[in-house]
Chain A
Amino acid sequence: MAVSAPAADTERAGTGDQRPRPRRSGRLRTSLAFWAFVGPFLAGLMVFTLVPVVWSAYLSLFDATNTVTPLPEDFVGFGNYADMLTDRAFQDSLITFSVFAAFIVPLTFACSLGLALMLNQLRFMRAFFRSVFFLPFACSYVVASLVWKMSIFSGVRYGLMNSILDLFGIEDVAWLFSPDPPWYWLVIVSLRLWIQCGFYMILFIAALQQIPQHLYEAAYVDGAKPGRQTFWHITLPQLRATAVAVLMLILIAAYQAFDEFVNLIGNQAYARPPLAYLYYTALGTQQDLGRGSAGALILALLIAIVTLLQGRFLGFGNKEGR
């Protein structure tokens, strides 16, 4: 690794014994390089993640309204946790999330895998279609929410969907603001699918291209038919590691659902995922940072448990194909 510097060292030392020195200096350089690369991110992680998490844990034990430095007499122990766990709105938000996850996780998984399989079969314009499906991933949730809300799923007669319904003589639908029937799920789920699928599709394509062709050839020799048989017995098992990782990423992304809910629907009891509810509790006029922090930690714990369980049952981290 080091060439010029050890040479200078050797000259100064004036001996023939060169071996230990360059090695030590090399180790020093390696660790210097390590810290140079890792340091900034570690510092960032400390400042923007770890410190706030610890502070939030501290705040969660206080009646911290309108303050991030509560006084000792405002100590309430686990009162905030009890409040949040019995808070109907918080419970509802967890239900909202569960419904959302039940829709979005399998749908995103199936759509992105389906797209990847189809694109993998294509013989022409591959790059074009890959880009077309990947591009929405570059769009922000806020921008997409505005397009969905103002143009496609606008509740007035000239909204795109309502214009189409109008052709069939169906009355205008208030897509987002009337929960019965819950059309808002269509808006929210379609938006997230549109943004996310392309990204996971790319991951699946990469994994598909790693599957050795000879596995298929061997299967054909043994009499397997291309299609469903090879998909279930070769493609899918070979995708296992990628599939598990994608599943976990989709689930974590679902937990972080916030942008599209807030931008599409705002603060509505029927569609308020945990992060949105905590946002309105801790920020906004309510400014209840104690309860907000308690809720955030409860949520973090839930995410950790689910992720661990998922990793355990699906074998996250196992080698591809095992």
Chain B
Amino acid sequence: MAASTDTTADQPTGKAETAKKAGAPARSDGSDAFLSVRDLRVHFSTDDGVVKAVDGLSFDVEKGRTLGIVGESGSGKSVSSLTILGLHNREKTKIEGEIRFDGRELITMPERKLRDLRGRRISMIFQDPLTALSPFYTVGEQIAESYRRHLGANRSDAHARAIEMLDRVGIPNPKTRVNDYPHHFSGGMRQRAMIAMSLVCDPDLLIADEPTTALDVTVQAQILDLLRDLQDEFGTAILFITHDLGVIAQMAHDVLVMYAGRSVEKGTVREVLKNPRHPYTWGLLSSMPNLSGDVDVPLRPVRGTPPSLLAPPPGCPFHPRCDYADVVGGERCRTEPPLLALSEGRGTACHLSAEDKQRIFIDDVRPLLG
């Protein structure tokens, strides 16, 4: 998790987060969640075989709350988000499971109906705002396009709306900037424009796929602030995908840690960051530099590399990299995939007993976190 070294305000202390997110609605019991993903499996067929990019993923996103999905590259975070909108390559992808959005099943929904949802009720922001915006049309035109498509507004109303949205996301002189092209904007401004574009139809769910990864740290903090403010204002549910635990600490109410296409740990941001219970989460946390504690605490990266999703290891996919596989008796970690047992939204997919988890965390892991 080297990429998080440049974040300053993102130690998983949870102080800022509790203050800022106090107004968020309480978590419901999950069954009638706004977005509910159940046992999602996304398999690609490639020349080398079937890639199990997502393998039995379940999560919920509630209205007005933010679920952060965190994991290494290739853990299936982005694939899951693209699948929600049906933006995967339909010919090469096999999808199983359920994606229910506001009571409607999205996986079986025909493309035509999905299109009406995209950008209108569910919208998306991407990692690199330069390549995610068309270079051939003005920023205003690209914002207005969505508004006209979904709300049937005429050209001048949509243009006025684009100016309003640019103003809303904090772009100075929106009346002139609306006619600029993306290459006239700086990186942070482009991401603001992207956010304006995604929120122009006042969607209920915003999927943010690494929205701050391509930005420098100060701009990153501004964009996160903006997203939080807009969430308060619009009550949008946010699915926030990142590899950066610091960003998660600032943004999310709930966290889902993904590994090799599965969820390995789930809980509120406080629970997961202050009291993590999965060896992989421990690895992620202890590989982050701790700027508030001693500077000479060594970083402890997760050893090894993520498994190939073509042939994932049997049993727990994390066992080849796990330091505690031997603590569990017998061959269970190597043969039996652990299930994510949920109680009140908190869960860990690990064979370690609750006592072992607690003991190892206090003895081995916490000292590294400072």
A and B from one complex: no
